[in-house]
Amino acid sequence: MRLFIPGPVNVEEDVLKVMSSPMISHRSKSASYLQQSISKNMQILWNTKNSILLSTSSGSGLMEAAVKSLILKKGVFFSLGAFGKRWYEMAIANGKKADIYEVEEGYSNKAEFIDSILKKGCYDFAAITHNETSTGVENPLIDISNVMKKYSEIIFAVDTVSSTGGVDIDVDSCKIDFCVTSTQKCLGLPPGLSICSLSDKAINRTKHVENRGYYLDLLTLYEYTINKDYQYPATPSLSHMYALDYKLNKIINIEKKENRFQRHKLLADITRDWARDRYKLLVKDNNYSDTVTAVVNSRETDLKILSSKLKDQGYVFSNGYGKLKDKTFRIAHMADTTIEELKAYLETIDKLI
Ligand SMILES: Cc1ncc(COP(=O)(O)O)c(C=O)c1O
C-alpha cells in the first residue's frame, strides 16, 4: 500500500532494514556514538548549535515535556488548528496557567497580532505550530520569530512535527528555544521517536520550574545527553535511533537538504494546481504548506467511496482532520514521495471522481 496520509508515511526498504539491526547495550559507547551522531546531523538539519534531545515517544511526548519543563508563570499558544489547540490543552492538563488565541481555519497566525498579545507582559512561554497538518497552513515563521526576538523573557517554542525534513527551518536565526519534531512525517521513518532542540535559555528555565516529572523532564534528558556522554535516562528505542541516524545521513549527504526542500516545493505546487482545477483549497491567506494540502470538498465527492476505491488500487487516502473530517480531504506530499508517485496518485483519483 502507498500512504498519502500526513503521517505515518511510506518508509524506504533500506531504512526498514537498518531498523532491524542487532541490539546493543543502551549503556555502551556505541549507543553514545549513535546518539551523538544523530545530534550532529540534527544540528545541521535545523541550522543550530542548540542541544539536541531525543525521546522515545511520538512528538506529543516532547510537546508535553515542553509545557511541563518550560512554563514558569504563564504560557500562550497561538493556534491555527487542531494541533495548536492540543498543545494548549496539554498545558492545562499539566496544571499550567495558559491562554490560547485561535484563528479561523485556513488562516495563519499574524506576527502583529502576536506582538499585541505579548506586549501585555504576562507570559514567559509562547508556542506556535509551524505547519498545521489539519489545515495545510504554514505559519510565517520568520515574521513571527522577528516579533519573538523582542521578548527576551519568553521561551519561544515551535512545533515542526509536520515540516522538519521537508522545509528549511533555521532554529538559530529564528532564535527558537524549543523546536520539536516526530520521525513519522517528513523524515520518513516509522512513528515512535521525537526530537527537540533546546537553547541555553530554555535549559536555564527548566532549573527554575518545579514538578517537571521524570520521563518527560527536559532537564533530566539534557543532563543525560550532554553531561553523561549522549546517554538516555531510560531504555531508548535503539531501532529508531539506528534508522534516524542512517536517514539523516541520507538526507544531508546523498539527497542534500536543498534538493529535498526543493522537491517538497515542487510536490506541493503540483498538488495545489491539481486541487485548484478540481476543488478549492482550504488555505485563505496564501500561507500554503509544502508538505500537506487540505482540499475543500467543493464537488461533494463521496469521500468514503473514494477512499475505498483508492484502497482497491493500493492507496491509503486521508480525509479531513477533526471537525474538518467530511468537509475536506488531505493529500500529503512529504518525506520521500517522488513526483512520479504523486502524479500517479492524482491520476488515479481523477479516474475515480
Ligand atoms: C502539527 C502536528 N503537531 C503535533 C502532532 C502530534 O505528533 P505525534 O503524533 O508525533 O505525537 C502532529 C501529529 O500529526 C502534528 O501534525
Mean of pLDDT over the chain: 97
pLDDT in tens, 276-307: 999 999 999 999 999 999 999 999 999 999 99
pLDDT in tens, 246-283: 999 999 999 999 999 999 999 999 999 999 999 999 99
Q: Flag residues of the chain having pLDDT under 70.
A: none
Does ligand 1 come within 6 angstroms of the Cβ of 160? no
Q: Give the three-class secondary structure for 337.
A: coil
Does ligand 1 come within 6 angstroms of the Cβ of 58? yes
Tell me yes or no: is domain 256-352 CATH 3.90.1150.10.
yes
Tell me yes or no: is domain 13-253 CATH 3.40.50.300.
no
Atom of ligand 1 nearest to the CA of 163: 1
Atom of ligand 1 nearest to the CA of 132: 1
Atom of ligand 1 nearest to the CA of 129: 1
Choose the residue to mutate in 182, 183, 184, 240 for probing ligand 1, maximizing ligand atoms within 8 Å of C-beta.
182
Binding residues for substrate: 330
Does ligand 1 come within 6 angstroms of the Cβ of 87? no
Q: What is the pLDDT of residue 323?
A: 84
What share of the chain has pLDDT > 90, as a percent?
A: 98
Give the DSSP H or E segment for 159. strand 155-159
Kindly state the cell numbers that stand for 204. Answer: 536555564
Query: Is 40 in contact with 230 (CB distance < 8 Å)?
Result: no
Please tell me the distance between residue 351's alpha carbon and the centre of ligand 1 in angstroms: 32
Does ligand 1 come within 6 angstroms of the Cβ of 166? no
Give ranges for CATH 3.40.640.10 in the chain.
13-253
Phi and psi of 282, rounded to 5°?
A: -75, -30
Q: Give the three-class secondary structure for 189.
A: coil
Give ranges for CATH 3.90.1150.10 in the chain.
256-352
Does ligand 1 come within 6 angstroms of the Cβ of 321? no
Peptide bond into 233 cis (omega under 30): no
How many Å apart are CA 345 and CA 315, to the nearest integer? Answer: 8
How many Å apart are CA 296 and CA 303, to the nearest integer? Answer: 11
Atom of ligand 1 nearest to the CA of 131: 1
Beta bridge partners of 315: 2
Q: What is the pLDDT of residue 138?
A: 98
